[in-house]
Amino acid sequence: MVSIVTHDITLTAVYGRRAPLRSGSCEGRLGPGEALAILAAGTAAGAVNAVVGSGSLITFPTLLAFGFPPVVANVSNNVGLVPGNLSSGFGYRRELAGQRGRLLRLGVAAGGGALAGAVALLSLPASAFRLIVPVLILIACALVVAQPWLSVWISARRDQRAGPALLAGIFASGAYGGYFGAAQGVLVIGLLGTFLDETLQRINGAKNVLVTIVNGAAAAVFIGFAHVSWVAAALVAAGSTVGGLLGARFGRRLPSAALRLFVVVIGLISAIKLLFF
């Protein structure tokens, strides 16, 4: 009994009020159709993350649509996507050859930023999250739309090298990923492509490793100090693991314009739902 009361007090301190798991029905009543939809969203998100890096714009709105509170949806989504990040990194293992030392240095910056972002998420009230996240989603959508032009801009600047500016940028993108994270992969690709003289496939492989570090570090904080919906996280994890492998293998064959359009539409719907409903 004491542990239950303590847990409720912790949730109240974190979210500014007692945070229900779902707004309509309890987690145990998640229907087969809802579970299948979350699983499918996780699969799509894993595939998108392996190639583009905007998968949260699919899973996060799906959890919102089924009544999960925004912060709980974000935390559970983050935890669930970690296995998909790992499978994506495994799928791109050949592109990681010779990048170990670089990724160790960048990984420290990414992990530090992720911890800062996760702490910010749990320190700020839930009302702040509802105001900040729609803006972040719209920025993420703009980045997804701008990706073709960003790639051209990257190609013209590949003669530059890593340094303090890249480390600072990776730290900042890690903080963004720890707080919310949709399209953080696009940010990381932009940073790595600007400062490193590497092919885009090798950059994408490095991106998958750094995003895994960010989501893993944030997930560790959330598991220890936040409320995770383990049913939702498990469904997203199962789907994203399969999707990450499929995305790494077949994602290069997908029509990029259609994929960007789908992600942007989902993101806009999510932003509208958070702002007005």
* 34-82 per-position pLDDT tens digit: 999 999 999 999 998 888 777 888 999 999 999 999 999 999 999 999 9
Cβ-based neighbours of 198, under 8 Å, separated by 6 or more: 158, 192, 206
Q: What is the pLDDT of residue 196?
A: 79
Q: Are 194 and 154 in contact (CB under 8 A)?
A: yes
Long-range contacts of the stretch 260-265 (C-beta < 8 A, 24+): 260/52, 260/144, 260/145, 260/147, 263/48, 263/52, 263/54, 263/57, 263/58, 263/141, 263/144, 264/57, 264/141, 264/144, 264/145
pLDDT at residue 26 greater than cutoff 80? no
Count of domains for the chain: 1
**In this structure, is residue 16 part of a structural domain?**
no
Domain that holds residue 116: 33-276
**In this structure, is residue 100 part of a structural domain?**
yes
In angstroms, the Cα distances linking 112 to 7, 64, 173, 209 are 27, 28, 10, 15
**In this structure, is residue 23 part of a structural domain?**
no
Residue type, 76: S
**In this structure, is residue 3 part of a structural domain?**
no
pLDDT tens for residues 137-192? 788 778 767 767 776 776 665 554 557 888 999 999 999 999 987 778 878 887 88
Assigned token pair, 22: 């779902």
- Alpha-carbon span 81 to 77, nearest angstrom: 6
**In this structure, is residue 106 part of a structural domain?**
yes
**In this structure, is residue 158 part of a structural domain?**
yes
Of the candidates 150, 139, 145, 137, the one whose C-alpha atom is nearest the C-alpha of residue 257 is 145
**Half-sphere exposure (Cβ direction) of 10: Cα atoms closer than 13 Å:** 11
Portion of the chain with pLDDT greater than 70, in percent: 79
In which band, very low, low, confident or very high, does the pLDDT at 126 lie, cut at 50, 70 and 90? confident
**In this structure, is residue 4 part of a structural domain?**
no
**In this structure, is residue 178 part of a structural domain?**
yes
Assigned token pair, 60: 């996060």
